[in-house]
Amino acid sequence: MAVLALVAGLAGCGAGEGPGDDPAGGGGPGGPVRITVTPSDGSVEVGPDRRLEVRVDRGRLESVKVVRVRDAREEQVPGELSGDGRRWRPVDGALALAARYTVDAVASDGGRRAARHASFTTVVPQERFIGYVTPENRATVGTGMIVSLEFSREITDRAAVERAVRVTADPEVPVAGHWFGRDRLDFRPEEYWRPGTEVTVDLALRDVEGAPGVFGLQRKAFTFTVGRSQVSTVDAAAHTMRVVREGEEPALVPVTAGAPETPTYNGKMVVTEMLDVTRMDGSTVGFGGEYDIPDVPHAIRLSRSGTFLHGNYWADTSVFGHGNVSHGCVGLRDVKGGGRATPARWFYDRSLIGDVVEVVNSDDRTVAPDNGLGGWNLDWRAWRAGSALG
């Protein structure tokens, strides 16, 4: 009965407190311990700049339990006491947005004890942003894969957002971020990933203010695995593609690249999409009505602007290995419908998202680093200079 009376007494100490920051207890010499909770009990629309704190005027805090409810999920907030036991703060000082917090604290001073119950809610932001991530979770990719995030809103506080994204590798290797404008952030190591590397992308964007009044929504992590190494070099002048695959003899494949008036980009490009068959319409990439082919087989995308390495069944077989006739793509001999024993099918079956295809000896400029995943065309110093974190 004595224990029940004590519990009832503790529960009653916090009851009836007003919405202000008034501490519990009667105060004065010999009175109960004063427990103060900030933000105050009953507060609403508390901003992320406020700091959660529980403190006592004397004695020590015996226990503090803080529970946060957001997205219909309840979780206890970890915290730590100061050395003198008179102040408690959460380990992560930032308050979550669109959440309800409840605080239950017990303190004592000699033989006197007091309890405090308080609750408050945080502001619900009207504007949110998310990052669309490449590659996909649990994917197996080539050694040239670049982690790329495209944000749904323009980011003005790029340092805050970049700080909230962690890309780590096992085996460990330094990874750096690089911004392209205000809505894209890419990550890569200095050199291609080692085969077998496990890469983890941790997005702690939730409640990060990326622009004034615009807060992140995501809090998740995902992983992908780096598969075998395959790097292919297209020599536009020699009309060949040299395929170097880990542990195998290089293969030399005849190709046709961009014609003199529509040359293929030079530089390193990364496979970002693979399509068994697709339509290629020149009007979508600035060529008017020069071509519209509804069934291009074995199409491998290399740039966002429309550079593909693909099967070609409409050109005379004599051009492969001898001439450049395309509108900027790299063509491999194929048959209508996609053959089983053609160079295009052979290469398609051996390729992964994230493989590197480098074009050399073309009459065009080097592909821009933000055209697809072209970031390997920047050296490490230039890449790191694009980080908002210095």
Catalytic residue ranges: 310, 329
Q: How far is CA 289 from CA 260, 280, 292, in A?
A: 19, 11, 7
Q: What angle do CA 257, 271, 336 make, to 5 degrees?
A: 55
Which H, E and C letters describe 244-266, residue by residue?
A: EECCCCCEEEECECECCCCCCCE
Q: Residue 365 in contact with residue 305, Cβ under 8 Å?
A: no
Give every CB contact of residue 95 below 8 A, 6+ residues apart in sequence.
Answer: 46, 47, 48, 50, 51, 52, 101, 122, 207
Q: Residue 388 in contact with residue 156, Cβ under 8 Å?
A: no
Q: Classify residue 102 by burial, with Cβ atoms within 10 Å: 0-12, 13-18, 19+.
A: middle
| Angstrom distance (rounded) from CA 85 to CA 62 | 8
- Take residue 139 and report the two structure tokens written for it: 């994917």
Residue 109 neighbours by CB distance under 10 Å: 18
SS3 9: helix
* Residue 302 identity: L
